[in-house]
Amino acid sequence: MAQRRTALTTRALTGASVVVLTAGAALLPGAGSATAATGSAAATPAAARAASAASLVARLGDRAAGSYYDAVARQIIVNITDPSAAGQVRNTGAVPRTVRYSTTQLRGALGTLTQRARIAGTAWAIDPRQDKVVVTVDPTVTGAKRAQLNTVVHSLGDKVVVRRAASAFKPLIAGGDAIWGSGVRCSLGFNVTVNGAPYFLTAGHCGNASSAWSDSQGGGEVGQTVDSHFPGTDYALVQYDDANSDHASVVDLYDGGSQQITHAADAYVGESVQRSGSTSGVHGGSVTGLDATVNYEEGSVSGLIDTNVCAEPGDSGGALFDGDAAIGLTSGGSGDCSSGGETFFQPVPAALSAEGATLP
């Protein structure tokens, strides 16, 4: 196989019950051709301030209720329930905001939803900008299921708000730089190494669908799925067959350039992010929630990043990134890139940790 290879993509499977999205890290041999995405340098200070705020929120416990980035004011906002904590917030360079509900109270609402309302076609996450749990309901939730959800939501009072999704929540098989499996097409997320050997990350629902992968339809095998997790979480690890091949840590930008990826980072609410996918190209948006749960027909997935970034069938497994930081792997969602949508992502740091993997 030639040293230079394009990244793998995924399209929706006709008639398949699971439609998977794939975005794309490029399978390029060297990083020299990578170009920085617009705004990547500006992301670093905001990310550092967000991490500092998250650490403070953890230390404050019930005196705090999350944090987020206000893109208009260019400030990190830290929600507090105890006004006496305002000074500690200001000392970190963030802006304090007094709210009603603590993180513990909002997580309690999440627990109630998980126990009593785990219904296919629903999703939920804490939105610190509203100081509420946002429950999203797709059009498939009707009749007795909707009545059950309404009862649980009503019991939680104004800690919860409900919104409607335009279309059904689905994991989306298809993507960025494509990988082809047994009757499926998905996207490569990020190239990684494990004990010095080359691998790549993609979505778990893609890994469940195929044990072997090619970089072209009907082409020769380039790698095998060695570990896959879905539902519950949504990531898979694929080992390259050629242990001596060199795979660059870049993402295809679909404009002739690529984005160098140097590290993985945790997402934060309000963060500006981009997603790469072969079906829809590169699209951007922002992080709207963390530790989200989405209830697909195939099962529930938790610990996800919730965004207003659009995606379409063929984008699954693909890369969510902020400049040179790897953020997430495309899982699924609702909507499309014509009317807009909501897309969920498996956090990359958690997948790397679970697999003992590192970025090249």
Residues 125/163, Cβ–Cβ less than 8 Å: no
Task: Name the active-site residue from 131, 177, 215, 234.
Answer: 234
**Residue 234 appears among annotated catalytic residues:** yes
Q: Is 303 exposed, middle or buried (0-12, 13-18, 19+ CB in 10 A)?
A: middle
| Nearest-angstrom CA–CA distance, 121 and 168 | 6
Task: Name the active-site residue from 316, 322, 324, 334.
Answer: 316
| Nearest-angstrom CA–CA distance, 256 and 264 | 24
Task: Name the active-site residue from 205, 229, 247, 283.
Answer: 205
**Helix (H) or strand (E) segment spanning residue 301:** strand 299-307
| Nearest-angstrom CA–CA distance, 109 and 181 | 40
Pairing label, strands 263-264, 75-80 = unpaired
Could you tell me which of 179, 201, 187, 186 has the C-alpha nearest to residue 357?
201
280: CB partners within 8 A, 6+ apart: 310, 311, 312, 314, 315, 336, 337
Q: Please tell me whether the peptide bond between 198 and the residue prior to it is cis, using omega within 30 degrees of 0.
A: no
What Cα–Cα distance (Å) separates residue 58 from each residue in 124, 217, 255, 327, 348? Answer: 21, 48, 41, 21, 21
Residues 309/320, Cβ–Cβ less than 8 Å: yes
**Residue 315 appears among annotated catalytic residues:** no
**Residue 205 appears among annotated catalytic residues:** yes
Q: Which residue has the tokens 């945790």?
A: 266
Could you tell me which of 326, 329, 325, 223 has the C-alpha nearest to residue 5?
223
| Nearest-angstrom CA–CA distance, 126 and 6 | 38
Write out the catalytic residue numbers. 205, 234, 316
